[in-house]
């Protein structure tokens, strides 16, 4: 078994050392860029949709139950099923002259739907976790609702919000490989090609690259979460001091 493992590692190393795998449309740089661009665009779209929803329901409490329930239902929808359902529409776009290939739209939409639920739920959780006394003290000092959101609630909720973004980003990077099943680009092409050719070295090389991207993303966002935590802890004394001001000493709004 150890010999087989050593042979496999040697084969994967040889695959990465082969110059043919570093050039052309099917080369590692091109496939890596395709994968990263798809994931980045999907995450930006998901953030544009999910962050305002999470901040709104967390700040106002309105529609929170239905929003969180819909987000939880969205988690249960398989990304592969979404791609399969949207693939015919993607073909129609391609025939109409839209760029991006047959599978791009279907994969993009599936990745957005995958990323929205964890961002919504964690943003809502982070906002509702802010001490109510801090909100009331901030309002008593004359802050408007939008100011309380920007200057008190969001800074304190940021570590939890970033945690949701981290979960979504890792899921998107790993799941975007499914787009290759429908003819999309990205690192998933190596896995699909490997199965078609019975080339297990190619399969494991593709899997390794996706794993490295996912782990790297996890580490980067983990660092951002820790940095946000330290910032919140550093500002904690200021927020605590505000919360401890007696109500009759607060300036009128």
Distance of CA 244 to the CA centre of its chain: 37
Range from 54-68, 79-93, 198-212 carrying the lowest mean pLDDT? 79-93
Residues 34 and 28: beta-carbon distance below 8 Å: no
Residues 99 and 178: beta-carbon distance below 8 Å: no
pLDDT at residue 96 tops 60: no
CA distance to 2, 100, 145, per residue, from 233 (Å): 48, 45, 23
Distance of CA 82 to the CA centre of its chain: 17
Taking the C-alpha atoms of residue 104 and residue 117, their distance in angstroms, rounded to an integer, is: 21
Closest Cα partner for 40 from 94, 91, 111? 111
Q: CA quadruple 195, 203, 215, 183: dihedral positive or negative?
A: negative
CATH, range 25-246: 1.10.3720.10
Give the number of other CB atoms < 10 A from CB of residue 1.
5
Query: What is the residue-wise DSSP string for 25-56?
Result: TTSHHHHHHHHHHHHHHHHHHHHHHHHHHHHH
Residues 203 and 157: beta-carbon distance below 8 Å: no
Is the pTM higher than 0.75? The answer reads yes
113-160 pLDDT tens trace: 899 999 999 999 998 888 777 777 777 777 776 777 777 888 889 999
Report residue 240 as tokens.
Answer: 């605590």
Taking the C-alpha atoms of residue 105 and residue 52, their distance in angstroms, rounded to an integer, is: 23
Say which residues have a Cβ less than 8 Å from residue 93's Cβ, sequence separation at least 6.
Answer: 100, 105
Reading phi first (left if > 0) and then psi (alpha if -120 to 50, else beta), residue 250 is in beta
Give the number of other CB atoms < 10 A from CB of residue 136.
15
Domain boundaries, the chain: 25-246
Residues 102 and 91: beta-carbon distance below 8 Å: yes
pLDDT at residue 105 tops 90: no
Report residue 155 as tokens.
Answer: 């800074």
pLDDT score for 98: 43
Taking the C-alpha atoms of residue 113 and residue 79, their distance in angstroms, rounded to an integer, is: 8
Taking the C-alpha atoms of residue 252 and residue 244, their distance in angstroms, rounded to an integer, is: 16
41-60 pLDDT tens trace: 999 999 999 999 999 998 88
CA distance to 55, 133, 199, 218, 224, per residue, from 51 (Å): 6, 24, 42, 20, 17
pLDDT at residue 40 tops 60: yes
pLDDT at residue 76 tops 80: no
């Amino acid at each position: 078994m150890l010999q087989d493992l050593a042979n496999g590692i040697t084969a994967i190393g040889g695959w990465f050392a082969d110059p043919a795998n570093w050039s052309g449309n099917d080369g590692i740089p091109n496939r890596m860029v395709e994968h990263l661009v798809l994931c980045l665009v999907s995450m930006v779209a998901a953030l544009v949709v999910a962050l305002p929803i999470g901040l709104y329901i967390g700040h106002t409490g309105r529609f929170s139950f239905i929003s969180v329930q819909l987000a939880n239902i969205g988690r249960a929808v398989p990304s592969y099923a979404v791609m399969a359902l949207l693939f015919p529409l993607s073909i129609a776009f391609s025939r109409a002259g839209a760029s991006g290939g047959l599978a791009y739209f279907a994969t993009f939409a599936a990745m957005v739907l995958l990323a929205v639920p964890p961002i919504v739920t964690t943003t809502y959780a982070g906002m509702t976790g802010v001490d109510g006394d801090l909100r009331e003290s901030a309002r008593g000092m004359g802050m408007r609702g939008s100011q309380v959101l920007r200057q008190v609630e969001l800074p304190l909720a940021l570590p939890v919000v970033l945690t949701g973004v981290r979960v979504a980003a890792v899921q998107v990077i790993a799941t975007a490989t499914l787009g290759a099943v429908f003819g999309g680009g990205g690192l998933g092409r190596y896995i699909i090609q490997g199965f078609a050719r019975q080339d297990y070295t190619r399969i494991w090389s593709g899997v390794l690259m996706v794993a490295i991207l996912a782990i790297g993303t996890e580490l980067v966002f983990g660092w951002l979460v820790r940095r946000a935590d330290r910032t919140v802890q550093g500002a904690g004394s200021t927020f605590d001091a505000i919360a401890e001001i007696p109500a009759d000493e607060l300036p009128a709004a």
